Structure 1
Amino acid sequence: MQVGNEASLIPVYNGRDLGLTYTKDDCLFNIWAPTAEHVTLALYEDAGEYDEHGNVTDHSGGREFPLTRNEYGVWSLKLQGDWNGYFYMYLVTLPGREPHYAADPYSIAVSANGQRSAIVDLAETDPAGWENDVRPHHGEPLDAVIYELHVRDFSSDPEAPYGGGRGGFRAFLQTGLKDTQGNSIGIDHLQELGVTHVHLMPVPDYKTVNELAVAAGDRSVYNWGYDPQHYNVPEGSYASDPADPAARIREFKQVVQTLHAAGIGVIMDVVYNHTFSVDDGPFEPIVPGYFYRTDEQGRLTNGSGVGNELATERPMVRKFIKDSLRFWAEEYHVDGFRFDLLGLIDTPTVEEFTKELRSEVFPGMMIYGEPWTGGDSPLQHKTLKGAQRGKGFAVFNDNFRNAIKGDSDGWGTGFATGAWGKEDDVVQGIRGAIYDFTEVPSETINYVTAHDNLNLWDKIITTRHMRHACSFPEWNQGMPADGRSAAEAVESADPYHRVNGDDLLKEESVRRSLLANSMVLTSQGIPFIHAGDELLRSKYGDHNSYRSGDEVNAIRWGNKARFLPVFRYYQGLIALRRSHPAFRMRTREQVERHLEILRASDHVVAFRLHGYANGDDWRNIVVIYNGSDRDETMFLPDDSERWHIVVNDCQAGAETLSIAEGDRVTIPRWSMMVLHDDADDALSDEGGNTGSKMPGAGEQTGHFRTVEMYYQRTDGQYEGWNVWVWGTGVQDGHVPLTMIGEGLAVARIRVAPHVRKIGYIFRLNQWEDKDIDMDRYLELGGGNETVQVIIRSGTVTVQAV
C-alpha cells in the first residue's frame, strides 16, 4: 500500500505510551498501525529456533491475544500477570495481504539479532547505585571537548591487558589498567586526557553483525553500526550474552555509570535518517509506505545514499524520533546525541526535540549532527549549514575541516598539510564561523577528521605522498585489493616510517598532525577529536574502514608509550582550553569585541584574545599558527613588553614555559604558539589605562601605520553606518565612523607593518545593510606613511587623497 500523499489523512496519536508498558501485575501493549485490519499479540516462552545465519524464520506457535483499535489507529491489549522474561511479536493483517509477524518498532529489549521483542523489567537492569548516578555538568556546550569512539575499537587490541569483555561494553568498566610502562589506558586514559564527553559511535541495535557469532568468538564480522534495526535497544554484539535481553541493557547502563563517575558525559551517535532495509525493517511491516520518503511516483527516495530515507516531517515519524531520544536520555542517562546525516531530518523536528530535551530532561544536553545528505532528497526543510542559526543545536564545520587539512581522502592539502592561500578560510573557523553560517560559536563543531574517510595520520601520510613508503595497501570493501588478508597487510605496513622516537616532535608528519588539532582546540566553537589522534592512530590508509575489522580499526594502546610526548601535548592543549574561557566565547558580540586577527598571510595565522575575554584571568592571549616549511617571525602587540609562552612546538599547557621579551617572537615551522601577557606588565597611556592606544590622524606608533578611510554618502545619512575590516594584523572587525564635516566621515584603522592589503565593507549597524554587497580590498604597499583614501557610497572606485 502506498501512503504518499495520503499520509495527512492517517490519524495521529500523541500519547506517550506506545510500545510496552511493564509492571509486575500486567503488561500494556500499544502499537500504532492505523492501516491494519487486525493485530494479534503472539507471546513466546523462548527466543525461537535460530538458523545458521542467526535468524528466526518461524514465529508460529505462540500464545495469541487479539488487540483492539482506537480512533487514533492504536491497537491495544492489557495482559494481566507478570510476563518478565517472555518474548513477543505482532501478527499484523494488512488489506489484501497475508498475515505476517513483525517485531515491535518501539521494542526496548530484544532477543539475539533482534529477532523477537522481549519483555523485561527495566528496574531489574539498573546496576547497583544507578539511582545515584549523576550526569557530569560541564557548563554550556562550548565547554565540551568531544572524543569520538567506537565501542569495539576501544578494547580490541590483543596486546592490551583487558581482563574480560574485550571489544564490548564491559571493557569500559575496567579501571586502573596500565600498559607495560605504567601508562594509563582505557577509561583512565580518557580521564587523563581531559575530554569532557565521549561520543560513542552507534550503540543502538544494528543489523549487519551476527551477535551469536561474535559471542561464539568469531571476530571476523565488524561494522560501525550505521544500519539501524531496533532504535531503542543496545547492540547485542557488545554485550556479554546477546541471548539475554537484559544483559545488553544492564551493561550499557554500566558504561554510562562508569563514564559519569570519571566525570565524562556520554553522547550517542544516532541514525534516524534511514534504516538498513525497508521490507524487513522496523516500520514497513506495521505501517507500509508511511515512514519512508517517496517521490511523486511513490518510489523510495535515496537522500541517505543507501536506498531509503525516513520521512521525518510526518507527525508519527517525528514522534517516534522524539520518543526514542527521550527514552535514551531518561532511561540510560545519556548526555547528548550526534545525528548521522542531519540534513535529512527536517529542521522543525530538530528544533522540537532540542527544546524538549533541554527543557524537560537535561539543560546541558549536547545536540549536533552532520549538516549534509548522502544524495538528493525531496525534503524541503533540510537541516543544512545555516539551518541551525539561533535554534540551540550545532553542526559539523566541514569548511574549517577542509581549510585545515584539505580534502578527505585524496592528495589535496589544507593549511596544516601544506596548502597556501587558506588563511582567510582558517580565520572564519577561528571566529566560530560567525561570518560563515553560525549565529554564535556554540553552533559549530570544529574537527579535522572523524570515523569517515582517512583519519588524521593517514591523511597527512597521503598528502606527503608517503603511502608507498609506509607500505599501505589499496583497500577494497574492507580487504586489501592484492588478495592478502587484512592481518597480513597490517603486519607488513609501517605507518611511522621515518618517525624517530628520539626526536619525535621535530618530525614533519607529527608536527602537522599536532598543528591540525591545535587549531581545533584553540578556536571558537566546540572541539571534536577522533579517537586515537592523540596516539598517532593509523588505519593503514583505509579511508572507509566501516567493515574492515579489528586488525585495521583497533586502538593500539602500545602507541601511548611510543608517542607519549604527543599525548601530553594534546593533554596540555585540552587543559589550556578548559581552564581559559577566552577560547570559549558565547556570543558573536564577544568574538567581535575580543578577537583580533593579527596576521593572516604567507601561511601564518595569528590572533589575539584581548580584554580578559569571556571573563578570562589572562588579559591578552596571542595564538599563532605557522603552517609553512620555515620558521616565521611574528610581531607582537605593542601594549606589552613581556609575554609568557605556554604552548610552543614541543610542549602545551597553561603553565609558563619561557618568557618572550620585546616586540616579536619566532615560531618554528609546522607548529603553533600560545602566549599571554601579565596585566601588571602592560604599557599604560597617559591616563593610566592599559591596552592598545589607537593613533590619531597621521600619528605613528612604532612600526604600525594608520589607514584613514574618508566616507561620503550621497544621501547624507550616516547614522548607524560603520566599516568592518579584516587582515589588519592588529584589530579586525567593527570600526566606528567619526563625522569631520558636513557630508564626510572618517574611519581610522591601525595596520601592522607587514600588511600590504586589508579587506573592508561599509555596513549599517550589525549587517542590516551594506554599501556594496561585496568584499572590497585596499592595497597599501610598503612604507610607514599614513594611507588616506576617499570612498563614495555606491561606487567601487577608491580615490587616494
Structure 2
Amino acid sequence: MSSNYINAETELETYEGKDLGLTYTAEYSQFKVWVPSAFTVSLVLYETGGNGSANSFLNSRDSGRIIPMQREAGGVWQARLSGNLKGKYYMYRAVFEDGTMHEAADPYATAVSANGVRSAIVDLRDTDPVAWDADKSPQLQHPADAVIYELHVRDFSAHESSGMLNKGKFKAFTETGLTDKDGNALGIDHLAELGITHVHLLPVFDFQTVDELKAAGEASRAEYHTEYNWGYDPQHYNVPEGSYSTNPNDPGTRIREFKEMVQALHSKGIAVIMDVVYNHTYSVEKGPFEPLIPDYFYRHDYLGRLSNGSGVGNEIATERPMVRKYIKDSLAYWASEYHIDGFRFDLMGLMDSVTIREITEELRLNINPNLLIYGEPWTGGDSPLAAKTLKGVQRGKGYAVFNDNFRSAIKGDSDGWGKGFVTGEYGKEGAVASGIKGAIHEFTDSPLETVNYVTAHDNLNLWDKVLASQGLRQAANLPELDNGGLRGGGDVEEAVRAANPYFGIDQHNILGNETVRRSLLANGLILTSQGIPFLHAGDEILRSKYGDHNSYRSPDAINAIRWENKQTFMPVFQYYKGLIELRRTHPAFRLHGRQEIERSLEFLRCDSGVVAYMLKDNAGGDVWNNIVVIFNANPGPATQSLPDSADCWNVVVDHTYAGTEAFRIVTGHEVQLEGLSMMVLYDGYGEPAPRAKIIEVHYDRPDGDYRGWNLWVWGTGIQDGQCDFRQMENGRAVARIEVVPGTESVGYILRLNDWEEKEAGGDRFIDCSGSEELIKVLVKDRQQMDEGDADGPLQLTS
C-alpha cells in the first residue's frame, strides 16, 4: 500500500466541469487533470510516442519538455500552451508531499502512441471519415425489437475463408460485396442478410495484453499467431485498441478506422454496442489512475488491501464521486464522438447501482434516447461493495441484465456434461417457461430488462456444449486446451486439423442431425421468447471453438470464424435467418410490458419435455389472430393439442424450415412434432387495433435539472411502474407512455429516484379517452403550479 493511501472515508475535492483531459485547437491546447493530493503537477511534452518506433536517435534524446501546471479549484491542475501541438505526445508528472514522483498518461486521453505508452495530441476532426457528420444511428421503434449478435473484431475476419483483406482489423467491416465461391455473402453483408439489429463488439478500447507492434508486424502473414486476447484488460478507456488498426504507430489511424467501422455498420442498418469493462484494470501501478491519484480509483477491503471481486486482482471504486464522473464522462464520449448505440457492462455486479442508474438516465436524456444498456448482474468473487448491481436491482431502472436462469435451464451447465431442457434433462420445463415470459415473475418488471441467451464468448460455445452434453467430445477428437495451448503440449493448429466436430452430420440431411437439432432448439427458444435475444457470432453456421471453454488467449486456429461453414451448413443459416425474420415481422414475439404479456401469453403445456404456449388475440397488435409455439425436447415425436379457436392452422416453422410464410396446413385440434424440434403455427389473420396510444409527457423545470426525475405510472395495460424521461425537447424532458387503446385515463406521480421526493398534488391523471393516437401533455413543477397554473397536466397540440 502506498504512503499516499486514500481510505474510503477520505473526502477529496471534486470537480464537475466537462473539460478534463486535452482540449485541442490549432491556436492552443489546454490540459486539465484531477490530482487533488499532489504537491505539484507538471505537464511533460514529448516529440515521440516513447516506444522506439520513431527515429532512434531522436527517441533516445526525447527527455521531454517540462511545463509547470497551475492548481485550480476542485483539485484540478491546468496548463494552456499556445501554438499548434498536433503530432506531439504528453504525460503528467506528479510530486507528492512525501517526495515520491510518478509520471503517467492522461486518464482522459483520447489518443495514445503504440501500446498506450504516451498520450497523443490529435485533432479529432482530422479523424472523421467522409460524411461522418451525416452518420446516423439506426432507429428501432422499441428496445424489444433488438436482436444482438456478439462478435470479436479479430474473429470476424482472421480466417482465410473470410475473403477480407484487412484481417483482424476494424477496416474489415468496411469491406462489402464479398462472397464465397458459391456466391454466399460474407462479412458485413452476411450480418445484414442474417437480419440482426445490433453488433455487440467484445472490448475495443485500448487493452494491455496484446503487443500492438508485434501484431502489426504479423498482420500480413498468412499463418496463425498468438497475438490475441478478448480485451477484458483495460489500459486506456477512451482510446480504440491499436492492434485492430492498420497502423498503431499513428495515433489518429485507430480512431479513424474505428469510426469507419461504425459508419459501415450503420450504413447496413446495424447498431453498434461496446462491451465496456469499468470494474477493473489490467494493471494498478502501471495504469493511468494509481500514479496520479493513489488508491482512490480502487476499492479496498477493511484491512486496506485491494479487493478482488473481479478475480483479476483489483476493482474500480465506482461509488466514489470522481470515479463515477470518470465513467459517465467516458461513456458520453464514446456515444457522442464515435456514435456508439449501446453498452454492455462486464461484471456489472461490481458497479454500484447508483452509478448504473445515473448512467442510464443521463446518457439517454442528454445524448441518445435509444441507447441499449445491459450487463452481467454478477461478480467474479467477493467484494465489499454494498450496493451491487445484481439480478433484480435493475427492476424499473431502464436497463437489462443477462438471464443466466434461462440460459442454464435451456442447456445445463456451461462447460461440462450437465444437461438442460434441450440437451436431455426433464424437469426444466417450468424454468424454460419463466424465461419465455421475460422473467416477469422472477426478477424483472418488464421483458426489456432481460437479455436472453444460451452461450456467449465465455465458456463452451453452443455447438461444443451440445457435443459435450451428448458425450461426443472424444468422438469428435476435440483437443484438451488450457490457457491458449494444449494441456500435454504440442501444436494447436495440428490438433485442430485432426479434430472433426461435425463428424456425425449427413450433408444430405443436415437438419436431421441430433446435435444440429438440439442447437436449433436452443436458439429457437431465444428468438421466440419475450425479452431481448442475444446470439453468439457463428452459431448460425455451427461455429466450433474445438472444445476450448476459455479461448481468451487462444490462437486464431481456435477462435476465427470459418466462413466456409456457411455453404456447408446453409440450411442452418436459413433457419436462423427465418427465425429472426419471424421475430422482426411479428410483434407478438416482442411484447413491451408485463401487463401485455400476462394478458396475451398463455401456456398450453409444460411437462414431459414439451413446452407449448399461445400468443392470443392479436398479441401486441399482430396481424395473426392466435399463434401457437411448441418445443419438443424429446428424442422422439410428441403430440400437442391445439386450441379450439380454429380447425385449421398454418405452419411457418417446423423441423425443416423457419420463416414467415405458411408452407403447410394442420387441420383438427392436435399436431405431431418430430423429436428435438419446434413448431410455430397461426390460425388466421384478424383486424387488430393499433398496438398502443402514446402519451408524451413534457416536464418543465425552471432550473433545468432533470437528473433522477421519473414518472410512476399505472393503468396503462402494457407496462406500469417507472417511466423515464428519455430525451430533451425545447428545454423540457420528455417521457413516452404506451397505453392500450380504449383506456380512459392513466395515473401518474412525478418522483425523484425511488420516492426520495415527489412533486405536488400526489396522484394525477391523464385523460386518454379520445380518438387521438398521440397525446401530448405538459407537466410543470410545484413552484409553477403554486404561481397559478392548473393543478394537473396541460394538453399540448398533438
TM-score bracket, normalised by the shorter chain, equals 0.7 to 0.9
> Counterpart of 2:312 in structure 1: which amino acid?
V
Equivalent residue for 1:406, pick from 407, 412, 417: 412
Q: Is the 8 A contact 1:4 1:298 kept in 2?
A: no
User: SS of the counterpart of 2:226?
Assistant: coil
Q: What is the identity, as a one-letter code, of the residue corresponding to 1:657?
A: F
CA contact (8 A) 2:104 2:287 kept: no
Q: Is the 8 A contact 2:51 2:114 kept in 1?
A: no
Contact in 1 for aligned 2:144/2:531 (Cα 8 Å): yes
2:317 partner SS: coil
Aligned positions of 1:608-619 closer than 5 A: 608-619=614-625
CA distance in structure 2 between the partners assigned to 1:139 and 1:547 by the alignment? 38
What is the aligned counterpart of 1:375 among 372, 375, 381? 381
Q: Which residue number corresponds to residue 310 of structure 2?
A: 304
The CA deviation at 1:99 is 2.0
The answer to whether the 8 Å contact 2:6/2:294 transfers is no
Give 2:682's aligned residue. Answer: 676
Q: CA deviation at 1:48?
A: 2.4
1:481 to 461, 482, 487: 487
Q: Distance in 1 between matches of 2:572 and 2:208?
A: 37
Contact persistence 2:652–2:661 (CA under 8 A)? yes
Corresponding pairs, count? 679
Structure 1 portions without partners, runs of 5+: 681-689, 692-801
SS of 2:509 mapped into structure 1: helix
How many Å apart are 1:323 and its aligned residue?
A: 0.2
Matching of residue 356 in structure 1 with residue 358 in structure 2: no
Tell me which residue corresponds to 1:553. 559
C-alpha separation in 1, matches of 2:366 and 2:59 = 41
Partner of 1:212: 213
User: Which digits, 9 at most, give the CA deviation of each residue in 1:139-192, with x for residues without a partner?
Assistant: 221110000000000000123311x21111111110000011110010000000
2:497 alignment counterpart: 491
Matched residue, 1:391: 397
Shift of 1:650: 1.2
Q: CA deviation at 1:447?
A: 0.1
* Kept after mapping to 1: 8 A contact 2:48/2:59: no
- The change in CA–CA distance for 1:153 and 1:49 in structure 2 (over 3 A counts) is closer
SS across alignment from 1:47: coil
Work out whether 1:198 is the aligned partner of 2:199. Answer: yes
2 CA distance for matches of 1:459 and 1:97?
56
Is 1:38 the counterpart of 2:40 in the alignment?
yes
- Specify the alignment match of 1:80 in structure 2: 82
The letter of the residue matching 1:24 is: A
Secondary structure of the residue aligned to 1:484 is coil
Q: Partner letter of residue 351 of structure 1?
A: R
1:465 aligns with 471
Structure 2: which amino acid aligns with 1:327? Y
Is 2:199–2:272's contact at 8 Å kept on the other side of the alignment?
A: yes
Task: Determine the C-alpha separation between the residues in 1 that align with 2:370 and 2:446.
Answer: 17
Name the counterpart of 1:515: 521
What is the rounded CA distance, in whole Å, between the counterparts of 2:61 and 2:93 in structure 1?
9
- CA change 1:51–1:252 in 2 (3 A) is closer
Aligned mate of 1:651, from 657, 671, 691: 657
Aligned position for 2:299: 293
- Residue 795 of structure 1 aligns with which residue? none
Matches within 5 A, 1:261-660: 261-660=267-666
The aligned runs of 1:692-731 (5 Å cut-off) are: none
Most deviating of 210-219 and 263-272:
210-219
Q: Is the 8 A contact 1:199 1:269 kept in 2?
A: yes
Q: By how many angstroms is 1:49 displaced?
A: 4.4
Cα distance in 1 for partners of 2:337, 2:190 equals 27
Q: Once the two structures are aligned, what percentage of the paired residues are identical?
A: 58
Post-superposition shift, 1:50?
A: 3.1
Note the residue ranges of structure 2 that are not aligned, 5 or more in a row: 220-224, 689-798
Q: Secondary structure at the match of 1:501?
A: coil
Contact 2:106 2:288 in 1 (8 A): yes
Deviation at 1:64, TM superposition (A): 1.1
1:408 Cα deviation after fit: 0.3
Return the TM-score normalized by structure 2.
0.84
Distance 1:220 1:607 in 2: 48
Larger radius of gyration: 1
Instruction: Return the letter of the residue paired with 1:529.
Output: L
Alpha-carbon distance, 1:57 to partner: 11
Q: Distance in 2 between matches of 1:642 and 1:8?
A: 72
CA distance in 1, matches of 2:9, 2:123: 35
CA contact (8 A) 1:7 1:290 kept: no
User: Take 1:515 and 1:656, find their aligned partners in 2: how far apart are those partners?
Assistant: 20
Query: Is contact 1:32-1:73 (8 Å) kept?
Result: yes
TM-score normalized by the length of structure 1: 0.83
Task: Answer yes or no: is 1:94 the counterpart of 2:96.
Answer: yes
Determine the structure 1 residue equivalent to 2:153.
Answer: 151
Q: For residue 100 of structure 1, report the CA deviation from its aligned partner.
A: 2.5
Deviation at 1:59, TM superposition (A): 9.6
1:5-26 Cα distance to aligned partner (Å, 9 max, x none): 4554111111101100111111
Q: CA deviation at 1:95?
A: 2.6
Return the offset for 1:44. Answer: 1.2
Task: State the distance in 2 between where 1:646 and 1:18 align.
Answer: 56
Name the stretch that deviates more: 94-103 or 358-367: 94-103
Tell me by how many angstroms 1:485 deviates.
1.4
Confirm or deny: 8 A CA contact 1:156 1:167 kept in the other structure: yes
Superposed CA deviations along residues 548-602 of structure 1, whole A, max 9, x for unmatched, are 0100000000000000000000000000000111111111100100000000000
Task: Give the Cα separation in 2 of the matches to 1:235 and 1:242.
Answer: 9
Query: d(CA) in 2 for partners of 1:157 and 1:670?
Result: 32
Distance 1:483 1:17, change over 3 A: same
Query: Residue 69 of structure 2 corresponds to which residue in structure 1?
Result: 67
Aligned to 2:160, what secondary structure does the other structure show?
Answer: coil
Query: Counterpart in 2 of 1:723?
Result: none
Report what 2:699 is aligned to: none
| 1:482 Cα offset (Å) | 2.3
Q: 1:15 aligns with which of 17, 34, 37?
A: 17
